[in-house]
Amino acid sequence: MKLHGTMQVNTAGHLEIGGCDTTELVKEFGSPLYVMDESLIRQNCRSYVGSFRAVYPDSEVIYASKVFSTRAICRLMQEEDMGLDVVSAGELYTALSVNFPVNRIYFHGNNKSPQELQMAIEAGVHRIVADSFYELELINSIASGLGKKTDWKPYWQLRHILRWICGEFTAISDRRYLIWNPMLRPPGQ
C-alpha cells in the first residue's frame, strides 16, 4: 500500500493518519469511518493554487463541494484561498453557515429549483452557472422580484474555467453565470 501525507505504519503495525491510530479510531467511533488527512488536503490545495497562479496569476482554483461538503472542509477551502463550487441548497447552506465569501461561490448543478436559485440570489452569490435559457430567464425573474439586478455577459467575452477531474483536463466551460454549449458561437464566427 502506498502511503500519502501523514500516513504511516506505527510500531503496533497499525495505520496512522495524522498521528492517530486508525484501529483506535474504529474502536472509538465504529466502522465504516472516514478519516481525512488535513495536512495532505492543505498540501494539495496549495499545490493546485500555486501551480495555476504561477502561470495564470488571476486564476481561481475551485473545490467541488459535491465530493465532500462539511463545515470544516468549507472553512479549510477558504483558509487555503480556494473558491467553492456548490450544486445544491444543502451545499450552499453549508458554505454560508461558515461565512464562506459569496463572491467565491459558484452555483452549478443541473435542474436547480426556483427555491435554490432564490436562496443563492438572496445570499448574494455572484456566480450562477445556468444550464439553459429558461434558467437564465428564471434567474432574472427571481432577481427582479427581489429588487436585484443581474449582470449577464455574453459567454464569448468571459474567461474560461478548466475542469480538472482525476488528473486530466476533461472539459472547458465558460466562467461566470452562463452556458457552455459548443454549438453556440459568437456572431460572425
* pLDDT digits (tens), the chain, 189 positions: 789 889 999 999 999 999 999 999 999 999 999 999 999 999 999 998 999 899 888 888 899 998 899 999 999 999 999 999 999 999 999 999 999 999 999 998 888 999 999 999 999 987 888 877 788 888 889 988 988 877 665 444 444 455 444 443 334 444 433 333 333 333 444
Grid coordinates representing 30 are 465504529
Specify the DSSP class assigned to residue 73: H
Separation CA 51–CA 49 (nearest Å): 6
| pTM exceeding 0.75 | yes
Going from the N-terminus, what domains does the chain have, and what CATH number goes with each? 1-35 (no CATH), 38-174 (3.20.20.10)
Do 92 and 125 touch, CB atoms closer than 8 A?
A: yes
Q: Name the residue with cell 474504529.
A: 26
Give the other-Cβ count within 10 Å of 26's Cβ.
Answer: 14
Phi and psi for 62 in degrees, rounded to 5? -120, 125
Which pLDDT belongs to residue 161? 52
